[in-house]
Amino acid sequence: MKVDNNQSVESVLQTQMMTKILEQMAGDSDSFQLILESLTKAMSDGKGLNLSNVGNLNTIKNEVANNIKSGNASIDQAINNASKKYGIDSDLIKAVIKQESNFDPSAKSSVGAQGLMQLMPGTARELGVTNSYDINQNVDGGTKYLKGLLEMYGNSKELALAAYNAGFGTLKKTGVDEVSEISKLPSETRNYVQKVMKYYGK
């Protein structure tokens, strides 16, 4: 690594120090990866970290802990709650969230789908979700919807996922009621099913 000046040296040292702190606190969790990405972006933007403003090491640790607590920790809890409530494997819920929003509670698609599990406003209302950007409501509603689709398709994850993406009306219209017939669906849906099942890994 080439270092051009003292400021670059300081930035590199700050990054290394923060990485060590984050690793100790979050291990190899998604929270660590998200925070490290934010830190790296700040460094690459030339903003760096002003350690004099942060105060001391304990303050940095507290801020990191707060980020983790208010971030993925609450998402994990919402997933675990919904998993127990609806009897859906938590890993499947996580796989859907990964593909739908990449764990961003504020995500909104170009067609208006909202939150972690990308609920359309009409679907959200039917599921009793009043705020799709609320982590608990979104994950509960999305998992409830997924549960209904699994029941509709005889517990076939592939067909349920295809319906989650394209709508069960699309599957009915195209005559898709077997996994082998998913090939009849648009490439977006085929790719969606493949990616979620890959994330699921079971």
**23: CB partners within 8 A, 6+ apart:** 32
Catalytic status, residue 188: no
Q: What is the dihedral of CA 17, 21, 23, 25, to 10 degrees?
A: -170
Q: Which of 10, 63, 100, 151 is catalytic?
A: 100
Task: Kindly state the DSSP code that residue 107 receives in the 8-state scheme.
Answer: -
Separation of alpha carbons 25 and 72, rounded Å: 14
Separation of alpha carbons 53 and 189, rounded Å: 48
13-20 long-range contacts (CB < 8 A, ≥24 apart) are 14/43, 14/48, 14/49, 14/51, 15/39, 15/40, 15/43, 18/49, 18/60
Give catalytic residue positions: 100
